[in-house]
Amino acid sequence: MCRFLFFVGVAVLSINALAGQSVQKNYTDYCAACHGADRLGGAGPALLPENLERLRRPEAVKTISEGRIASQMAGFADKLAKDEILALVDFIYQPLPVAPEWGAKEITASHLQHVPVGSLPDKPVFDADPLNLFVVVEVGDHHATILDGDKFEPIYRFPTRFALHGGPKFSPDGRYVFFASRDGWISKFDIYNLKMVAEVRAGINTRNIAVSGDGKTVLVGNYLPHSLVLLNADDLSLIKVIPAVGLDGKSSRVSAVYQAEPRGSFIAALKDAKEVWEIPYTLQTLPADGWRRDYSPASASMVVPPARTFPVRRIEVDGYLDDFFFDPSYRHLIGAARDGRKGQVINLDTGTKVAQVDLPGMPHLGSGITWEYQGHPVMATPNLKEALVSVIDMTTWQTVKQIKTSGPGFFMRSHENTPYAWTDGFSSGDPASRDTMTLIDKRTLEVAQVLRPIPGKTAAHVEFTRDGKYALVSVWENDGALVIYDAATLKEVKRLPMNKPSGKYNVFNKITRSAGTSH
């Protein structure tokens, strides 16, 4: 009996080995040319579980079988049996046995300079107001559209890298827009001349990017490898790679990076280490220990640090931070983990925790906004798991109100010239609330109205024109649209067909750090 079981075990192992060889051969024959023999990507995206987290397995099966419209991805249902396709899906969702390297050598080798620096004219090739343009990201077929914010007419549409991740960022003058793809590709596009300027692959799986307030540097935060990457903003050439290693010596993913212009620094949070990092990007007058304690010209013991060394200041925090938010002064960072119910307020000058805030239902702090309420600055954030908007007094750090909404939201937006804050039901599992936009009166903190741009279709992500007169809502479907509302009367004024417009970003609102949009 034991001998029989032994032979059965050997037979099973042999069958599994043959199956493994078969799926590897199919991957080599049908996938490697575009996605890389190492699954790290090439002409096609990386096929790793980290990069495929938003692609459900049934959709992956469909893509391999039928291909992807408006891409080079062909279907293989005529070449592979159903069980072979299922085996391929299992294969690409398996982690690599050894964490791949992507350091200075690989980043530099990937660099693409499409247009020489300084070779393009300094005036727009179109007549529209360059500060009232929108950059619309259409993830349905991986394109972006430059939209005239006065006429609401497309100016130019162009292909982007696969699966842009995080909002695009702008140069301080609004001429250039920088994109980050989930596969780590960073792209610089000249809006004035409607041309891609440069690209570089700064990681394998990228979280988001930030552009310095002086327009000279781009910071990239990576999930894979665990690193921060600094790039020259003019041509995206490499400046420095900073391994994301905590004080405990353990490597960590980077959960978020933003720039804090009033501080002249980047701020990064580590997802697997209880730390926030501050990285100065300018030659600034700092205290003798290298870190600013206040912003008054009378500060004593001032020294100037070496140029562009990008030292890291580590701030220890109570918990792991998935995302964070700044108060208007950029002195305070409000951070929370997605699986937590509490947020912590860190004074960035002293590097100490000064308060704890109540944030139920997994807050999406990266989408938080601010306004004045009864003489106090408040912040508001949607919550991913509960149909609530949390409103927090940024003077006392006490909860002013938890406002019930139609469904758990992901994005929240407003504008200085509108009385309403708009939030969606994007995170809801209920179709009856995913098609809603809830408008909150900023003066009363009451729900003023609920809109349904297209009943039964997912609504998400509002952005305003530079004057706040019009609000643009995404219908987040492949046969979706931008629905444009008069922000005062709340009447629809125009509808533009779009291919799953995930977000749209007004140049003026972004570069002026409007309180109503994310930074």
d(Cα 29, Cα 76) in Å, to the nearest integer?
Answer: 11
Whether 176 is in a domain gets the answer: no
Tens digits of residue pLDDT in 205-262: 999 999 999 999 999 999 999 999 999 999 999 999 999 999 999 999 999 999 999 9
Q: Which of 153, 366, 154 is nearest to 145 (CA)?
A: 154
Whether 6 is in a domain gets the answer: yes
Whether 22 is in a domain gets the answer: yes
Q: What does the DSSP assignment read for 231-287?
A: EETTT--EEEEEE-B-TTS-B--EEEEEEEGGGTEEEEEESSSSEEEEEE-S---EE
Total domains, the chain? 1
3-class secondary-structure state, position 33: helix
Whether 330 is in a domain gets the answer: no
End-to-end CA distance of the chain: 68
Q: Which of 421, 425, 357, 413 is nearest to 388 (CA)?
A: 425
Q: Which of 411, 365, 376 is nearest to 504 (CA)?
A: 411
Whether 51 is in a domain gets the answer: yes
Output the pLDDT for position 43: 62
Q: Which of 283, 257, 261 is nearest to 271 (CA)?
A: 257
How is residue 465 written in tokens?
């024109």
Q: The domain containing residue 82 runs over which residues?
A: 2-92
Output the pLDDT for position 18: 44
Output the pLDDT for position 19: 53
Whether 82 is in a domain gets the answer: yes
CATH of the domain at 31: 1.10.760.10
Q: Which of 179, 207, 208, 209 is nearest to 191 (CA)?
A: 179
Output the pLDDT for position 330: 94
Output the pLDDT for position 48: 74
Output the pLDDT for position 41: 72
Collect the ranges in the chain with pLDDT lower than 70.
1-20, 33, 42-43, 50, 53-54, 68-72, 283-308, 338-340, 361
Centre a 10 Å sphere on the Cβ of residue 111 and count the other Cβ atoms it contains: 17
Whether 226 is in a domain gets the answer: no
Q: What does the DSSP assignment read for 292-356?
A: -S---TT-SSEE-PPTT----EEEE-SS--SEEEE-TTSSEEEEE-TT-SEEEEEETTTTEEEEE
Sheet holding 470-475, edge to edge: 459-464, 470-475, 480-486, 492-498
Output the pLDDT for position 302: 34
Whether 193 is in a domain gets the answer: no
What single-letter amino acid sits at 317? V
Q: What's the full length of the chain, in residues?
A: 519
Residue corresponding to tokens 């799953």: 500
d(Cα 509, Cα 518) in Å, to the nearest integer?
Answer: 9
pTM over 0.95: no
